[in-house]
Amino acid sequence: MLGIGSDHGGYALKQAIMKHLEARGIAYQDYGTYSEASCDYPDYGRAVALAVANGACDRGILICGTGIGISITANKVPGVRAALCGDCFSAEATRSHNDANILALGARVVGEGLALKIVDTFLDTPFSNDERHIRRIQKIEG
């Protein structure tokens, strides 16, 4: 299960991403926000991050205006590796090297077409399972 969440700044892009996930037959859980009314990104960033950390979701997608606030929030939850990506190279690398379990996007930074390609890259790229990357990921948690 994929968890998805945004604040008001990411709401429209979240709707487009959910439509895209449906077209791809990927199951998701929408953790809000559910309208364009102003709200606080930590509420949604934390909800998806906790769902990933406790195993309710295996991966997540978070969107705010910049992707920054919501990724900072998600990375406060132990076990979460949220990667803010604005290009496909980073999305591929963060899956392959960091085994990132949450993708963060900035809806005011990337257009919808690029965002959907970043989503596909993130979802379709496996972790390398390379010993040196495993070691480095273990060091992130301390």
Q: How far is the CB of 71 from ligand RB5 (least distance, A)?
A: 8
Residue among 56, 68, 93, 137 that touches ligand RB5 (CB under 6 A): 68
Residue among 2, 3, 5, 7 that touches ligand RB5 (CB under 6 A): 7
41 is an interface residue for ligand RB5 by CB under 6 A: yes
60 is an interface residue for ligand RB5 by CB under 6 A: no
Q: Which residues of 111-130 are buried (b: 16+ CB within 10 A; e: fewer)?
A: eeeebbebbebbbebebeee
The tokens describing 133, both together, are: 């990357």
Whether 137 contacts 98, CB under 8 Å: yes
Mark whether 133 is an active-site residue: no
5 is an interface residue for ligand RB5 by CB under 6 A: no
Mark whether 97 is an active-site residue: yes
3 is an interface residue for ligand RB5 by CB under 6 A: no
Q: How far is the CB of 65 from ligand RB5 (least distance, A)?
A: 3
Pick the stretch among 13-21, 22-30, 58-66, 96-104 that binds ligand RB5 (CB under 6 A).
58-66
Active site residues: 64, 97
